[in-house]
A = this chain, B = another copy of it.
Amino acid sequence: MSSKIARPKKIKAQAVLLVARHWLMLSVAINIGFLLKLIHDGHLRMEWSGKENGVALSSLSSYPAEPKPENDGQIQQKLINLDHGDPTMYQSYWKQMGDRATVVISGWQSVSYFSDTKNLCWFLEPGFANAVTRLHNLVGNAETENRHIVVGTGSTQLFQAVLYALCPYDAPEPMSIVSAAPFYSSYPLITECLKSGLYKWRGDANDFDKDEPYIELVTSPNNPDGSIREAVFNGSGGILVHDLAYYWPQYTPISSRTDYDIMLFTLSKSTGHAGMRLGWALVKDEAIAKKMVKFIEISSIGVSKDSQVRAAKILDVISDTYGDAETSNESKPFFDYGYEEMEKRWGQLREAVNKGQSFSLPNLPVGKCNFSNRTFGTQPAFAWVKCEQAVDDCESFLKKHKILTRGGAHFGSSKKYVRVSLIGHDKDYNEFIRRLSLINSVQSP
């Protein structure tokens, strides 16, 4: 870990305060210009691009070139972007794996639109389908028997495919879409993006009291707050969609083999390959799976074969690391790497938060993991941080310290909260912890 974290703890409080105040004032002065540009752009703000904010977030561009190494002075001045869950943490694992996860693709491959015309999902590569099934069976996190696998351009496209599949085209009113707050900030953006007549975003499932059909999105562990969730409604009239992007053993104990009607998964958060744009759905009902396939056919005529071929390899390599003992000795099994990295990062975060009274974190459930046999508390890919005391707008407050996070309002919650990605590059994460500790030390009584 960086030396920044390992500062001597017994340095006199007075000296820290002076240094920190000076640093804070300087920091605020430098940033006042682009802070004005960081005002939200209304209902569709996602801020993926650094350019849009007038700031080049060059450290996020990790491919194909490596980011340039930064020295300590540079990183302390740099904007740390923890707004989106860019899973660059995983890059070092895949580098360790060397050629084992490499694929070679010939020029004549990916010519046809079709992958398997005998499959309901005709653009699903059989090798990818097999690798998905194999990994679920190994981890035990989802039932794959008698399910249709539908592949999508990320679980983002699959979410839209689900809405299309579940909402009748000729209904007099659009179907209501709800999710318990705090909910994933993209759900309302996607749902409202085209002002569809098929569905309508109705916000917090806890506030929904209309006597009409609806779809409830259940994300567990939840994005942004990591809570383990059940549906708010279990009565009739509701259709449940389970977003299980984070139901993997590096983040949470695998307590049971989930068996829901519609389950969504994504490569971004399981293996860390966000740039592949690949997700999959496990769907019980054939008619629903067919309509999802129809949506993906209309909206993108299938899904990249190149990414599917690569993903098959990546998933198989993960399963292989749990194979024979010899293989396992060569390299750490994937989920052990992920678990230990998340454990370390959550340890650092809790230590920084516990240094003062400026911030708090949610309590997360502890459980036994059937996969690893470990008993541990959920350690999500995001931290749902609350600014305590007089800070009402936590996102703006952290921006003053050049820490970009996503404010609670985007998740249907209070501005006292922010969502912070914990799965970025090591260096950025360490710098975030350093700044958080400093703020917390300075602001404490």
Q: Closest approach, in angstroms, between the C-beta of A135 and any C-beta of chain B? A: 15
Return the CB mask of A22-40 against B: 1 if under 8 Å, else 0: 0000000000000000000
Interface centre among A114, A190, A195 (most CB of B within 10 A): A114
Q: Closest approach, in angstroms, between the C-beta of A142 and any C-beta of chain B? A: 22
**Given known contacts A104-B102, A122-B51, A156-B301, A275 and B110 CB-to-CB distance under 8 angstroms:** yes
Q: Closest approach, in angstroms, between the C-beta of A368 and any C-beta of chain B? A: 31
Q: Closest approach, in angstroms, between the C-beta of A250 and any C-beta of chain B? A: 15
**Given known contacts A97-B107, A196-B194, A301 and B317 CB-to-CB distance under 8 angstroms:** no
Q: Closest approach, in angstroms, between the C-beta of A93 and any C-beta of chain B? A: 8
Interface size on A, residues (CB 8 A): 97
From 145 to 170 in chain A, residues with beta carbon under 8 angstroms from any chain B beta carbon are 153-154, 156-157, 160, 164, 169
Contacts of A297 on B, CB cut-off 8 Å? 46, 48
Q: Closest approach, in angstroms, between the C-beta of A297 and any C-beta of chain B? A: 5
Q: Closest approach, in angstroms, between the C-beta of A172 and any C-beta of chain B? A: 12
Is the pair A105, B102 in contact by a Cβ cutoff of 8 Å? yes
Is the pair A63, B110 in contact by a Cβ cutoff of 8 Å? yes
Contacts of A198 on B, CB cut-off 8 Å? 194-195
Give the complex CA separation of A125 and B88 in angstroms. Answer: 17
Contacts of A300 on B, CB cut-off 8 Å? 153-154, 156-157, 277, 300
Give the complex CA separation of A90 and B113 in angstroms. Answer: 13
Give the complex CA separation of A189 and B106 in angstroms. Answer: 34
Picked from B60, B91, B113, B164, the residue with its CB within 8 Å of the CB of A193 is: B164
Give the complex CA separation of A117 and B189 in angstroms. Answer: 22
Contacts of A92 on B, CB cut-off 8 Å? 108
Is the pair B314, A301 in contact by a Cβ cutoff of 8 Å? no
Identify the stretch in A241-249, A303-311, A377-385, A400-408 within 8 Å (CB) of chain B at 4 or more residues: A303-311
Give the complex CA separation of A122 and B86 in angstroms. Answer: 13
Q: Closest approach, in angstroms, between the C-beta of A295 and any C-beta of chain B? A: 7
Q: Closest approach, in angstroms, between the C-beta of A303 and any C-beta of chain B? A: 6
Contacts of A114 on B, CB cut-off 8 Å? 48, 57, 60-63, 86, 275
From 33 to 92 in chain A, residues with beta carbon under 8 angstroms from any chain B beta carbon are 44, 46, 48-52, 56-58, 60-64, 84, 86-88, 90-92
From 263 to 314 in chain A, residues with beta carbon under 8 angstroms from any chain B beta carbon are 268, 272-278, 290, 293-295, 297-307, 309-310, 313-314
Cβ of A127 < 8 Å from any Cβ of B? Answer: yes
Give the complex CA separation of A314 and B193 in angstroms. Answer: 34
Picked from B60, B153, B196, B295, the residue with its CB within 8 Å of the CB of A304 is: B153
Contacts of A295 on B, CB cut-off 8 Å? 193
Q: Closest approach, in angstroms, between the C-beta of A333 and any C-beta of chain B? A: 15
Cβ of A101 < 8 Å from any Cβ of B? Answer: yes
Binding site for B on A (CB under 8 A): 44, 46, 48-52, 56-58, 60-64, 84, 86-88, 90-92, 94-95, 97-120, 122-123, 125-127, 153-154, 156-157, 160, 164, 169, 186, 189-190, 193-198, 268, 272-278, 290, 293-295, 297-307, 309-310, 313-314, 317
